[in-house]
Amino acid sequence: MSLTAGYMDLLRILTLWRNRTGWLLFGLLIALSALAAGVGLMAVSGALIGAVAASGVLLFPVALRGLGTARVVLRYAERLVTHAATFRALADLRVWFFRHLARTGAGGLGFRQAGEVLARLVTDVEALDGLYLRIIVPLAGAVLLLPALVALIGLHSIALAIVVGILLVIAVFLLPATAARLASTAGGRLASASAALRIAALDALTGLREVRAFGAEGRVVAAVQAREGTLLSAQRDLARRTALAGAGAFLCGQAALFAVLVAAGLQPGGAIVAAFLVVAGFEAVGGLPRAGALAGHAAAAARRVLEAAEAPNPVPDPARPAALPSGFALRFEAVHFAWQSDRPRVFDGLTVDIPERARVALLGPSGVGKSTLAALALKVAAPQQGRILLGGTDIAELSAAVVHARIGWLSQATHLFDDTIRANLLLADPDAHEAALWAALDAARIGDVVRALPDGMDTWVGEGGTRFSGGQGRRLALARTLLSPAPILILDEPCAGLDAETERAFLSTLNEVATARTVILIAHRLTGVERLDRIWRLSGGKAVAAAA
């Protein structure tokens, strides 16, 4: 990634913060005021030390007290406001990232790795916190400070003002730009290494049961440590470049101070004022070269965030959506589909008719395309050929929101969020009232279990629903699906992972609920307790009707 492209990515991030412009500008104003108070304090201090006039001695202590107090108050206010602005801006960025991720991955993360997405959502976004605090605010202060400092020193010596001005330009512009260029590659390596470590660590944690079962702890730890070593190497590289940039700024400041000490023609009082101004000025801009190095890392992080969030939507909404369909019959008409061009086709002329209020089963072994059919119906993916009709309207002409409002889904790996039972249910219908929640729980035959809990519907379910057994968790997920007003319910392997007795009880519950809706049961086999109108078997990319 070129440095120019990196700067453009950082500018894109700034445009995403436009809703926080007031906070950002207010923080910048306070920061500049604190800088002015600090420089003024140093200038007056130098003048006081070098003053010989009695009137000046009487006046300066008053100015010192005022500037000193102002500097303390303004620096405190600066910390409060600039950090508040940064936190709000980063929160907006995370919300924007998640919304775009959801738009381009409505069926889940797709071919993305969870650890990679987590790294971009957390680590890369956090790397951008210095964009405002460590780059924009100090740079704005330096731009205003440079001419003012040169002008003040120029009142005593033009030559000294030119020397100090040149050293300030080096510290403010040349060193940060050089550091950014040197650190751009290191920043990209650091972002990639951090993502790789998160992927390895998350993979090890989610597969901990299998790791223990096969005695592979040593190998998994070694893999994590190898990625950790790569990350540490990238961190050391970036830290070394950052330290070199900071050393360059320090040397510029020392050179300017040395120029003040050896300058000829200055009066002692003027020399002291100039020395204090130089110290204050270079203290204010001393972090910019390091900020330049951090900018390389921030630019790499910005690119990763934008790439993940702005991936093309696989199934965009039409520019002018069609009118809402009156019915909810579902038809797959000569559908051809492959997930990727270099992969074999999942469907090759699939045609299936599912009338309104029918109860049908789609059977087939793993990999035959049962879940793919659900993804196509939910408009998560689009067929390369053929049509999918909902109420006689091609879903390609409907918005995704309309399709999702008419088709509910219970997946084989349904997720329960680490929240209350109530919050998990309201995911399907945020406006549902209490009676509707209990009706859904009772329909799923889990209402009595919830009533027996001390906190009832406000019971915390735990991460992934760990508070409940597999069958209870599946019934909570079913209640959530039933709460949805969608007239079509797709149940994708709803009994996956359940024992035979729990599976039969769960399917018996399904026989008694959603009688006014279309129910599409996707399974690799039937147990014999299902009540079905039609059965389709998927094979060779097509659907063959079987006896019910």
For residues 116 and 195, the answer to whether their CB atoms sit within 8 Å is yes
Domains along the sequence of the chain with CATH: 3-309 (1.20.1560.10), 330-546 (3.40.50.300)
Q: Which of 94, 75, 74 is nearest to 86 (CA)?
A: 94
For residues 376 and 345, the answer to whether their CB atoms sit within 8 Å is no
β partners of residue 388: 332
Residue 54, pLDDT score: 38
* Mean pLDDT split into 10-residue runs, the chain, 548 residues: 66 83 87 79 65 47 69 84 86 81 57 61 74 81 83 80 86 82 72 78 78 80 87 83 81 84 60 75 77 74 74 75 83 87 82 87 80 84 88 88 84 80 88 88 86 90 80 84 85 72 74 78 74 82 74
d(CA 355, CA 519) in angstroms, rounded, equals 10
Residue 451, pLDDT score: 92
Residue 5, pLDDT score: 64
3-class state of residue 433 by DSSP: coil
3-class state of residue 446 by DSSP: coil
Given strand 407-410, what is the order of strands in its sheet?
407-410, 488-492, 518-523, 359-363, 534-539, 542-546
Given strand 347-354, what is the order of strands in its sheet?
347-354, 330-337, 385-390, 393-394
β partners of residue 362: 522, 536
Residue 465, pLDDT score: 78
d(CA 488, CA 330) in angstroms, rounded, equals 9
Q: How many CA atoms lie within 13 A of 111 on its CB side?
A: 5
Helix then strand count (H, E) for the chain reads 20, 10
H or E element that contains 155: none
Q: How many CA atoms lie within 13 A of 433 on its CB side?
A: 1
d(CA 481, CA 484) in angstroms, rounded, equals 5
Two structure tokens written together for 412: 């084989």
Two structure tokens written together for 299: 């630019």
